[in-house]
Structure 1
Amino acid sequence: MAPGVTGERLAGLRYWNLGLALLHLIQAVVIVLLAGSFSISVTSSVPEGPPGTEASAPEALFDVPIGGAVAVFLALAALDHLLTATVFRDIYERDLRHGINRFRWMEYALSATLMVVLIGFYAGITGLNAVIAVVGANIGMILFGWIEETMNPPGRAATTMLPFWFGTLVGVTPWFSIAYNIVAAETAPGFVYGIVLVQATLFFSFGLNQWLQYRGTGRWSDYAYGEKSYLVLSLVAKSLLAWQIFAGSLAG
């Protein structure tokens, strides 16, 4: 049994999930109603000869409406919180008692990856190959987080942090690309710097939360406290990014 996961704490987490579902859904609806037509094109550039031949000029493949994309990742978060508080409540609470939350990792693999892709768009990472690499790296990071929980059940004799560090190594790579583009660009607007700095801080706060959990540091030795921290971070990170990206789309 994971420490701190009592019936009373589980009831409190249910109310938190219901509240977050409502808050995320309201924001998604508001952004859909306010969204304009601003979109960013995903491009492709392919070789036109043998290896070493200069690639073709980038061509637009499809457009991603920014307002709609923001609403989607908010809606994904709302759906996750709603399902864990209702339809899948028994599974969610049973998992928490065993020190794991599979729904968290599945939802993050979708919503957090979409968030990083949008941040990359604003940093000029719009090539299809680069976008695929960003998606793969971020999903890999999330799945390593899931493995970290699976490999460290309550009552373990020792804790391994290898999946955590492997996930960190994989997950930081898109941020290096984003940072490079921002620093190298001569015309990046100020709000892009703000988005990258704020979201990088929040993204890595999720990793810090897990590290504190598995090091048993202070209140994080209580698994339910760590779970509540994930909920708070999820709300703050997604809400801030939603409105930062949306405001940027109006500026665009």
Structure 2
Amino acid sequence: MTSTTTPMATGVTPERLRGLRRWNIGLAIIHLGSAAVILFLTNDFSIPVLASFIDGAPGSGEGGGATALVTSDLFNVTIGYVVGAFLALAGIDHLLTATIGRRIYERDLGRGINRFRWAEYSVSATLMVLVIALYWGVTTINALVVIAGANVAMILFGYLQERMNPPGRTSTTMAPFWFGSLVGITPWVAMALNIPLYTDAPEYIFVILAVQGVFFFCFGLTQWLQYKEIGPWANYAFGEKTYLVLSLAAKSLLAWNVFLVSLIS
């Protein structure tokens, strides 16, 4: 009778897992603490979400030309609450992986996957992109829905990349990664199109777009390095720690940048 052993992801050792647990506990404290402070101090600063549509059938204007564009406010997004939400989601994720979900988390890491990460990112990273889009003048409900959908799709493709490439595989497919990159870049293209139009934008908005764009690129780069097995990223546990560091930096910088310049100024 032949016994088979499921291959373990590279570098997922008991020592590494203990270190990751300490990191998750620390990040849970930081994120939940930051969320509590922001929610406590925030004011009612908000950005309106608009409906935009043409008044009449397309091409029904005078002489067959453009028809009037009508806009109306649908609701206001209180930015402090959204910032607090994506920080709290990250904190809850890290708390779960360090406590009641620890066994599932560590077992999944051994299988080269982290379902907690992708579930959290699909909501928290999408809220982050929506906040950035709102600051960049993308405020119509149609555009925001498409941006949210594209970002969620990108995250789910990241999950598929891990799911389709288990440890011990004889070949690696990068198709989910490239599909995710294609849909994931579209919100940033949409926001970048406003740059030449948004001539009176304060400098901090350019900083937010540039810094967060770099961080989102680094998340994708991390996965690419993992599956190309380049340098220390050939170690799956190292890649997991890289995700933790990037998540902390991206969320904290966006949260406090937005909070300090927009909510208490």
Report if TM-score (shorter chain) is over 0.5: yes
Identity %: 58
**Could you tell me which amino acid in structure 2 is paired with residue 50 of structure 1?**
A
Q: CA deviation at 1:247?
A: 2.3
1:57 to 34, 54, 70: 70
1:146 aligns with 2:167: no
1:86 aligns with 2:99: yes
Are the structure 2 counterparts of residues 55 and 166 from structure 1 closer, same or farther at C-alpha, using a change threshold of 3 Å?
A: farther
1:18 to 10, 20, 25: 25
Q: CA deviation at 1:250?
A: 3.4
- Corresponding residue for residue 105 of structure 1: 118
Partner-residue secondary structure (3-state), 2:166 = coil
- Corresponding residue for residue 186 of structure 1: 199
- Corresponding residue for residue 157 of structure 1: 170
RMSD of Structure 2 on Structure 1 (CA) = 1.3
- Corresponding residue for residue 2 of structure 1: 9
1:42 aligns with 2:55: no
1:129 to 125, 133, 142: 142
2:40 to 21, 27, 33: 33
Q: CA deviation at 1:186?
A: 1.7
**Could you tell me which amino acid in structure 2 is paired with residue 105 of structure 1?**
W
Q: CA deviation at 1:251?
A: 7.3
Superposition TM-score, scaled by structure 1 size: 0.97
Are the structure 2 counterparts of residues 82 and 144 from structure 1 closer, same or farther at C-alpha, using a change threshold of 3 Å?
A: same
Q: Which shifted more, 15-24 or 178-187?
A: 178-187
- Contact 2:157–2:176 (8 Å) recurs in 1: yes
Residues 174-223 of structure 1: CA deviation (Å, up to 9, x unaligned): 00111111232121110000000000001110000101100001111100
Structure 2: unaligned runs, 5 residues or longer: 1-7, 61-66
1:116 aligns with 2:123: no
Q: CA deviation at 1:29?
A: 1.1
Residues 126-174 of structure 1: CA deviation (Å, up to 9, x unaligned): 1000000000000010000000001111111111111111100100000
Distance 1:117 1:40 in 2: 11
Q: CA deviation at 1:79?
A: 0.5
Superposition TM-score, scaled by structure 2 size: 0.92
Distance 2:26 2:59 in 1: 55
Q: Which has the higher helix share?
A: 1
Q: CA deviation at 1:56?
A: 4.3
Distance 2:44 2:264 in 1: 12
Q: CA deviation at 1:55?
A: 5.5
Q: CA deviation at 1:45?
A: 1.6
Larger Rg: 2
**Could you tell me which amino acid in structure 2 is paired with residue 34 of structure 1?**
L
- Contact 2:42–2:264 (8 Å) recurs in 1: no
Distance 1:13 1:203 in 2: 22
